[in-house]
Every structure is written in structure tokens, then in C-alpha cells.
Amino acid sequence: MALTEQQKKTLRGLGHTLKPVILVGSGGLSRSLLEEFERSLEHHELMKVKVSAGDRTQRDALIAELCQHSGAELVQRVGNVGLLFRRRRNKSKFTAL
């Protein structure tokens, strides 16, 4: 589902005002956190995730694991916040993308 640069630009604009929905702490990715992430992503489609763990490489690894687990795509990462997108399986709000 690779997004084009134009689609990413549009999504970054839409995600600018969003607040993080999921907060990942130093405990990492637990089973319950992954389940909540899946439910939230299915509901929101575009959401921010805040990762407050370790250094940059550790944060990148956790965000990459979230993307791999869910099939989401990383739109942008600024500091410890990642903007992730995955189209809803049915009735997506982002059909124009």
C-alpha cells in the first residue's frame, strides 16, 4: 500500500492537529497494547503514536514493529511521535487518496 509523496503530504497536513492516541512506554509493545493499537487504527485510520522509550534507534524499531504488525505505513516521524496510516477495510474516510 505504498503511499506517494503527494498522499503523504496530504496526510501530514491532516495529522498536524491530531493528538497521540497510543503511548508506548519503556515497557515496549505488550499484547494488550498491540490489540488496542489495532482497534484504534481501524477506527481512526490516521493516528499519532508517541514512543517514550530509549534512544532514536529504539524508537524507530518500535515504530517499525508497530507498522509491520498492523500493516500500517509510517507517514512521518518527528521526535518521539510517529504518524501512521492504514485504510479501513470498509467505508474508509480516505477514499480520495
Q: Where do we find the cell 509491520?
A: 68
Domains of the chain by start residue, with CATH: 5-85 (3.30.110.60)
pLDDT tens per residue, range 51-96: 998 789 999 999 999 999 999 999 999 999 999 999 887 777 777 6
pLDDT tens per residue, range 3-12: 899 999 999 9
- The answer, yes or no, to whether residue 1 has pLDDT greater than 70, is no
pTM of the predicted model, to two decimals? 0.89
